[in-house]
Copies of this chain bind each other. A is one copy, B any other.
Amino acid sequence: MAKPRLGEFERIARFFAPLAGKGALGLKDDAALIDGPSGTHYVLTTDTIVENVHFRADDPPGRIAQKLLRVNLSDLAAKGAVPAGYLLNTALPKSRGEAWLEKFAAGLAADQKEFGIALLGGDSVATAGPVTLTVTAIGTVPKGKALLRNGARAGDSVYVSGTLGDAALGLKALRGELMRLSAKYRRDLIDRYRLPEPRMELGRRLIGIASAAMDISDGLAADLAHLCDASGVGAIVEAGTLPLSPAVRAALKSDPSLLASVLGGGDDYEILFTASPGAARKLPRLPVTEIGRIEAGRGVTVRGRDGQALKLTKLGYAHF
């Protein structure tokens, strides 16, 4: 019998973690830290996106560029870092000519302005396969202050920024599902799938407040489980407190089973963090919602409005 294939996390743990050096944070934090100029650390983070895996071939090139940058900026935000620069690697098939590149570069230009970041270097190669894009982003934090995943402690509250599930339902809408939703709601969801909103200001403000933080890219349930594993704790989430957009509320109303996508769908790019109860009061005017608490033990339980634990059929989105 063939051995079962390892998932992404097992592969990293088995093959790459033994190669990790100082500053790599055990390859568990989606970022590395190296000494910066006086009193600072550089945060390094990198993400690769592949056509038909992480974006659709017919997504607008400018939006693909922005999503590529923003998934990396979201990792910087979750560390509390201020963006400094980025490197860009493009592997493009012949079908992507100058017209495509021009729109792609315009998307980068718009977001460079929006987020105060500039291109530092990169590489451009040809491929016979799908468009494959890598950004490595660099940010700065006060030395020793980067937000990590391993600091959550029993008694902390669990918080998320913004709203959850929009991107996962946006992907469904792009695939022609959710046709009972209004056209405006479908468009709102699709926009959120295509264009995440990295929480740069919130991330910086969380330094000194959050005990642990990460961005949500694989879905709330899976990513909270990662944070809990790194911290050696468990968590309870109250489903009734999850922050939901009007479009997601409408979708859940017509099909309550979509809650699995809200909890388990990817691409939210919101910040998940833990802090002492009441910490939200220290963050006025920032979109932060308390959704649960950290407990001793292990594992993540999501409780429905009736107080019963929900059985999740899909704990998150796995790339393998």
Interface of A, helix, strand, loop or mixed by DSSP: mixed
A103's closest neighbor in chain B, by CB?
A: B15
Interface residues of A in 126-162 (CB under 8 A from B): 126-130, 132, 134, 136, 138
In chain A, positions 86-123 with a C-beta closer than 8 Å to chain B are 87-91, 94, 97-98, 101-102, 104-105, 108-109, 112, 117-123
What total of chain A residues lie within 8 Å of the partner, measured CB to CB? 74
A309 to B: closest C-beta gap in Å: 32
Report B-chain residues with C-beta under 8 Å of the C-beta of A49. Answer: 125
Asked whether A128 lies within 8 Å of B125 as measured between CB atoms, the reply is: no
Contact of A46 among B38, B102, B123 (CB under 8 A): B123
Query: CA separation between A47 and B38, bound complex, in Å?
Result: 29
* CB atoms of A15 and B105 under 8 A apart: yes
Cβ of A22 under 8 Å from chain B: yes
Residues of chain A from 13 to 64 with CB closer than 8 A to chain B in the complex: 14-16, 18-25, 27, 30-32, 34-38, 42, 44-50, 52-54
Most chain B CB within 10 A, of A108, A136, A319, is at A136
Do A101 and B46 touch (CB < 8 A)? no
The answer to whether B37 touches A118 (Cβ under 8 A) is no
Q: Are A88 and B16 in contact (CB under 8 A)?
A: yes
CB-CB < 8 A to A132: which residues of B? 48, 91, 127, 129, 132
A120 partner residues in chain B, CB cutoff 8 A: 20-21, 23-24, 32, 34, 44
Find out whether the CB atom of B53 lies under 8 angstroms from the CB atom of A121.
Answer: no
Q: Report whether A34 and B84 are in contact in the complex, using a CB–CB cutoff of 8 Å.
A: yes
A3 in the interface, Cβ–Cβ < 8 Å?
yes
Q: Judge whether B101 and A15 touch: CB under 8 Å.
A: yes
In the complex, the answer to whether B136 meets A53 with C-beta atoms within 8 Å is: no
Contacts of A118 in B (CB 8 A): 19-22, 24
Within 8 A of B (CB), among A256-282: none
> Within the assembled complex, what's the spacing in Å between the Cα atoms of A9 and B266?
36
Judge whether A85 is part of the interface by a CB distance below 8 angstroms: yes
Q: Would you give the shortest CB distance from A146 to chain B, in whole angstroms?
A: 13
A90, B109: Cα distance in complex, Å: 26
The distance in angstroms between the C-alpha atoms of A102 and B14, with both chains bound, is: 9
Q: Are A44 and B121 in contact (CB under 8 A)?
A: yes
Binding site for B on A (CB under 8 A): 3, 5-6, 8, 11-12, 14-16, 18-25, 27, 30-32, 34-38, 42, 44-50, 52-54, 84-85, 87-91, 94, 97-98, 101-102, 104-105, 108-109, 112, 117-130, 132, 134, 136, 138, 319-320
Given contacts A15-B105, A16-B122, 11 further A-B contacts (CB under 8 A): A6-B98, A15-B104, A19-B108, A23-B85, A23-B120, A32-B121, A34-B84, A37-B37, A48-B90, A128-B129, A129-B132
Query: Could you list 8 A-B pairs, sorted by A, with CB under 8 Å?
Result: A15-B104, A23-B120, A27-B119, A44-B121, A48-B134, A53-B128, A129-B130, A136-B136
7 A-B pairs with least C-beta separation: A129-B129, A21-B118, A32-B120, A19-B119, A32-B121, A15-B105, A35-B37
